[in-house]
Amino acid sequence: MRIHTGEKPHQCSECLKMFSYQSSLAEHMRSHTGEKPYQCSECLKEFSYKSNLVPHMRIHTGEKPYQCSECLKEYSKKIGLVQHMRSHTREKPHQCSECLKEFSDKSSLVRHMRIHTGKKPYQCSECLKGFVGKSSLVKHMRIHTGEKPYQCSECLKQFSQKPHLVEHMKIHTREKPYQCSVCLRKFSYKYSLVKHMRIHTGEKPYQCSECLKQFSDKSNLVKHLRLHNLQKLC
């Protein structure tokens, strides 16, 4: 009947939150006491609530009971499926209060907000550089460790980041996905197309600090600066 009446006679003595059932209050109290009565039989990790232990056990069993009806991809947690479904529906319910950009999941919004706050909670233990996300720190650490986990299956060349391997593979596949909209010439790499487009636009973004001469390509500016340095020596 409390579902209909909304009655909540059980109150937490710590935060005064109200509950309809004594059992719900008992579970809630663990958030204050830190009690964790549910333990994983595999890794002995402890949990305050049985509802957290059940999905955790799927890490060990490999069970994935939640399946996408569109692409049949499977997930161990319901929240994983809910977030995945937004890739099909294009739903983005989480909006940034600063720039109004929208996100499909809350964690992406949290990371994005750090752009506005300037918060960088992940710090490199070697050079103390800070990062907005954990994945960015992991990639950065490879500069110090020299780790290159991505290897080309053709020539066995290794790379520290997956996008670099993807770009490299175009050497072997001869794929040219970037096309000039003016002359229709194709390129394997996006930066090659960007440089090429300057032929059509006349853009020269690189300027000599000595004589203010401008160049469309950075390598030409470097060569030009060497000439200036040689002239100074002479």
Residue 229: what pLDDT?
81
156 burial type by CB count under 10 A (0-12 exposed, 13-18 middle, 19+ buried): exposed
pLDDT value at residue 210: 85
- 233 pLDDT above the threshold of 90: no
Please report the pLDDT score of residue 160 as a whole number: 93
Mean of all residue pLDDT scores within the chain: 92
Region 114-127: what's the mean pLDDT? 93
Q: Which fold has domain 70-145?
A: Double Stranded RNA Binding Domain (3.30.160)
CATH class of 148-203: alpha beta
CATH superfamily of 1-63: Classic Zinc Finger (3.30.160.60)
Q: Is the pLDDT of residue 17 over 90?
A: yes
What average pLDDT score do residues 174-184 get? 93
The predicted pLDDT at position 130 comes to 94
pLDDT at 232: 76
pLDDT at 231 over 90: no
β-bridge partners, 74 = 67
Say if residue 12's pLDDT is above 80: yes
